[in-house]
Amino acid sequence: MPQTGSIIKFFLVAVFSLLMSSCFKDVDFGQAQEISLEPDLQVDLLYFQLDETDFLDSESSQYTPIIRDTVRLEFLDDDYIQDGLMYAALRFRHENRFPYDINSRIRFLGENGGRQFQVNYLIPQGSSAASSVIDTTRILEGNEINKLRRSIKMVVELEVVDGAGDLQGELDFQSKGLFKFEF
Amino acid sequence: MRKIFLLVLLISFFKGLSQNRPLLYNVDDLPQALLQNPGARIDFTRHIGVPFFSQIHLFAGSSGVTAYDVFADNDGDVNDRVRNIMRDITSGDFFSVNEQLEVLSLGWKMSDRLYFSTGIYQELDIFAYFPKDPAVLAFEGNASYIGQDFRFSDVNFAGEVLTVYHAGLNYKVDNQLTVGGRFKLYSGIFNAESTSNEGVFRTVETPGGPNFYRHEVSGLNVRVNTSGYASLKEEEGMTVDKAVAELLSRSFFGQNVGLGVDLGFNYRVTEQFSVNAAIQDLGLMFHQKDVENYNYFGSFQTDGLEPLFPELDENEATIPYWDVFEEKLDQNLQDETTNNTYTTWRPLKFNASFQFGTGKSILPCDYLISKKPRFMNLFGMIFSGVNRPKGPTYGVTAYYDRKVTDNFRFRVAYGADEYTLTKFGLMMSTRLKNFNFYLAANDIIGYTNLAKANTASLQLGLQFIFKDL
């Protein structure tokens, strides 16, 4: 049976060779630590469409030149914002069909009401035939991104400049954020 | 999310072929041929496997990516490579892992025409399509995909661990035809599957609309069925080690059962030329115990939050817009955990081949010997496939099988399938007296550097095979 013995030796050598030769080459699994998720998300924020009734008291019909509202943006407190947000481009767009200039003040506040940052601008007067459009983008990156991370409320305030109780028109507002993350 | 991605990559780097084992198919002096085709022609009269070692089968494969594609040790950036892969890979690409461990295997010739075989094996099978759209959303976000759908149907996977008790008969009808069947009782240890998901997430621009975009989840209907998982999850202080120990303790008598059959035949068209075909695991698993289903369903769309500028006193709280938004979200996109029984098909395997033999063996000159000489050189081609959730996966293998002596044979094979078009395989089987040892490895080239291989598979076993003349 010497032939059988040789065959088995050959067989065992083949098995050993197969097992020993099977390996991972030309790869560096340490790069796994460098893999990062970097999603860029486009997310709507607030929107509204106002007309003259929004500047009048619902009971007394008295003209109110300044109106404001506060919206909590609870997602700003989530872990993925706190840990992964690297860049934010906040875009605000007003379309004014009131025949008056309007001051827009957009403030981002922390939990205790402390102001983190604000975006203020004047919306020029428009008309029903030709609306006036203001499109503003505020970019936060680097250390500034912490201002957004500390924010939880968005306050929108509008002040009609030199307006009167007989004002007529509309004001549209759109806003969104481009949020860039790195996990 | 990164951990999930790394897990998917890890699974994909355990390389291999599929559940079909073309290197063992039609090997007439290995009992494992009967597991693939119960109607195969066989050349032994009794067999008994070394418990737990008569067949160890390992397979894993990835149809779209290799370890080298991601972790190549060169100057490129790993994240650039991941992005390129994400671009190239499709939701039809898949990762698969299959393992079988034969616990018990034995059989004997009951008459001149009838061979009985039985045994127990444990099997793990994982098959997952690449969840392209959810992965792209997680890696790149929606910013570059405004107006495009992210489909939840891309989430499609099935995984199970079970023990199979089987008994089969191989019947030689005449000199030309051999038929066989095998009855299987499945004992389910663990199952998780999610294969019929629906719905899309999209962000669309809305010119003239209330805001820049509208975010929509439309027709969400995602269901993940599990059995054997709820009890693991609910047990306090469960660790991975404890979970594995618990699963092993269920190895012999799992909580869920199923039934299945294998059927096959071999037909010698001429003395030298034969054809055969078989199906394996035509069967169902009935998941009735320790079942938990996770359901996610509904539709929702939003343009953002709309402040109403209410007339408030200084001390009045503003409207809780966010809470209202979350309430609407929860009403419209719901999740529900149920305990409904479910049934799954076992992945059906099918093989068909033809074989041509040359070089007759020489038998001892003894009038008591009833055996007919066999051919020492065999050339054949096997067509194989496995039924999967999105349709069958196919492969074709051509082989040359050489019986060097009555105790040693080898097979070299070249195959192509959906993993790779260059799959070289080698099988060797040797017998020392009645003790048999076999080893089969497919995608041999891949073994030289597993990092660049799409698949690799390995089968080996120890058993006693008797060839009474």
Choice between A21 and B229, residue whose per-residue pLDDT is larger = B229
Q: What is the DSSP string of B173-200?
A: -SSSEEEEEEEEEEEEEEEEEE---EEE
Q: Which residues in chain A are contacts of B139 at CB distance < 8 A?
A: 37-39
DSSP label of B20: -
Q: What percentage of chain A reaches a pLDDT higher than 70?
A: 89
Q: Which residues in chain B are contacts of A2 at CB distance < 8 A?
A: none
Nearest to B304 among A8, A47, A93 (CB): A47
A81-90, A130-139, B73-82, B287-296 — which is least confidently predicted?
A: B73-82
Which residue, chain included where needed, has tokens 């690409």?
B93
B338 touches chain A (CB under 8 A): no
Q: Please report the pLDDT score of residue B17 as a whole number.
A: 39
Helix boundaries (H) for B315-386:
321-332
Q: Please report the pLDDT score of residue B12 as a whole number.
A: 39
Contact (CB<8Å) A29/B321: no
| C-alpha separations of B464 from A5, B14, B109, B253 in Å | 18, 30, 14, 27
A16 touches chain B (CB under 8 A): no
Q: Please report the pLDDT score of residue B76 as a whole number.
A: 84
Q: Please report the pLDDT score of residue A21 as a whole number.
A: 66
All residues at 6 or more sequence positions from B83 whose CB lies less than 8 Å from its CB, including other chains: B139, B140
Helix boundaries (H) for A87-174:
145-149
CA distance to partner chain B, nearest, from residue A143 (Å): 23
Residue burial B155-175, b: 16+ Cβ < 10 Å; e: rest: bbbbbbbbbbbbebbbbbeee
| Interface mutation vs chain B, best among A12, A19, A36, A37, most B CBs within 10 Å | A37
B320 touches chain A (CB under 8 A): yes
Domains, chain A = 32-181 (2.60.120)
Nearest in space to A64 (alpha carbons), one of A134, A169, A163, A168: A163
Q: Please report the pLDDT score of residue B3 as a whole number.
A: 45
Residue A156 confidence (pLDDT) above 70: yes
d(CA B157, CA B91): 11
The structure tokens listed for B103 are 């616990």
The answer to whether A27 and B72 have CB atoms below 8 angstroms apart is: yes
Q: Which residues in chain A are contacts of B2 at CB distance < 8 A?
A: 35-37, 183
The answer to whether B386 and B347 have CB atoms below 8 angstroms apart is: yes
The structure tokens listed for A45 are 């924020």
Contact (CB<8Å) A48/B309: yes
pLDDT tens-place string over residues B53-97: 999 999 888 888 888 888 888 888 888 888 888 888 899 999 999
Contact (CB<8Å) B141/A3: no
Q: Please report the pLDDT score of residue B9 as a whole number.
A: 41
Average pLDDT, chain A: 88
Q: Please report the pLDDT score of residue B10 as a whole number.
A: 39
Q: Which residues in chain B are contacts of A74 at CB distance < 8 A?
A: 322, 326
Q: What is the ipTM of this complex?
A: 0.86
The structure tokens listed for B333 are 């996109």
Q: What is the DSSP string of B206-259?
A: -TTSSSSEEEEEEEEEEEEEEES-HHHHHSTT--HHHHHHHHHHTSSS-SEEEE
Q: Please report the pLDDT score of residue B5 as a whole number.
A: 43
Q: Please report the pLDDT score of residue A16 as a whole number.
A: 63
Nearest to B142 among A22, A42, A175 (CB): A42
Q: Please report the pLDDT score of residue A14 as a whole number.
A: 66
Q: Please report the pLDDT score of residue B278 as a whole number.
A: 97
Residue B466: what are its φ and ψ, rounded to 5°?
Answer: -110, 135
Choice between A9 and B173, residue whose per-residue pLDDT is larger = B173
| Over residues A31-56, mean pLDDT | 91
The answer to whether B429 and A11 have CB atoms below 8 angstroms apart is: no
| C-alpha separations of B336 from B72, B222, B293, B298 in Å | 43, 11, 8, 11
Q: Please report the pLDDT score of residue B359 as a whole number.
A: 84
d(CA B336, CA B75): 48
d(CA B143, CA B137): 9
Contact (CB<8Å) B141/A44: no
The structure tokens listed for A14 are 């083949």
Residue A160 confidence (pLDDT) above 70: yes
Residue A1 confidence (pLDDT) above 70: no
Q: Please report the pLDDT score of residue B314 as a whole number.
A: 74
| C-alpha separations of A19 from B165, B260, B306 in Å | 31, 35, 65
Q: Which residues in chain A are contacts of B320 at CB distance < 8 A?
A: 72
Residue burial B232-259, b: 16+ Cβ < 10 Å; e: rest: beeeeeeeeeeeeebbeebbeebbbbbe
The answer to whether B17 and B455 have CB atoms below 8 angstroms apart is: yes
Q: Give the N- to C-terminal CA distance of chain A in Å, as an integer.
A: 65
Nearest to B448 among A21, A42, A156 (CB): A21
The answer to whether A115 and A107 have CB atoms below 8 angstroms apart is: yes
A20 touches chain B (CB under 8 A): no
Angle at which helix B78-88 crosses helix B132-140, to 10 degrees, equals 150
Q: Low-confidence residues of chain B, pLDDT below 70?
A: 1-20, 252, 254, 362-373, 469
Q: Which residues in chain A are contacts of B427 at CB distance < 8 A?
A: none
DSSP label of B305: B
Strand, coil or helix: what is A8?
helix
Q: Please report the pLDDT score of residue A9 as a whole number.
A: 65
Band the pLDDT of A33: cuts 50, 70, 90.
confident
Q: Please report the pLDDT score of residue B1 as a whole number.
A: 42
All residues at 6 or more sequence positions from B407 whose CB lies less than 8 Å from its CB, including other chains: A4, A7, B430, B431, B432
pLDDT tens-place string over residues B110-130: 998 999 999 999 999 999 999
Q: Please report the pLDDT score of residue B268 as a whole number.
A: 94
| C-alpha separations of B292 from B195, B289, B341, B425 in Å | 15, 9, 8, 41
| Over residues A31-53, mean pLDDT | 91
Contact (CB<8Å) B71/A29: yes
Which residue, chain included where needed, has tokens 């934010």?
A88
Q: Which residues in chain A are contacts of B67 at CB distance < 8 A?
A: 24, 27, 29
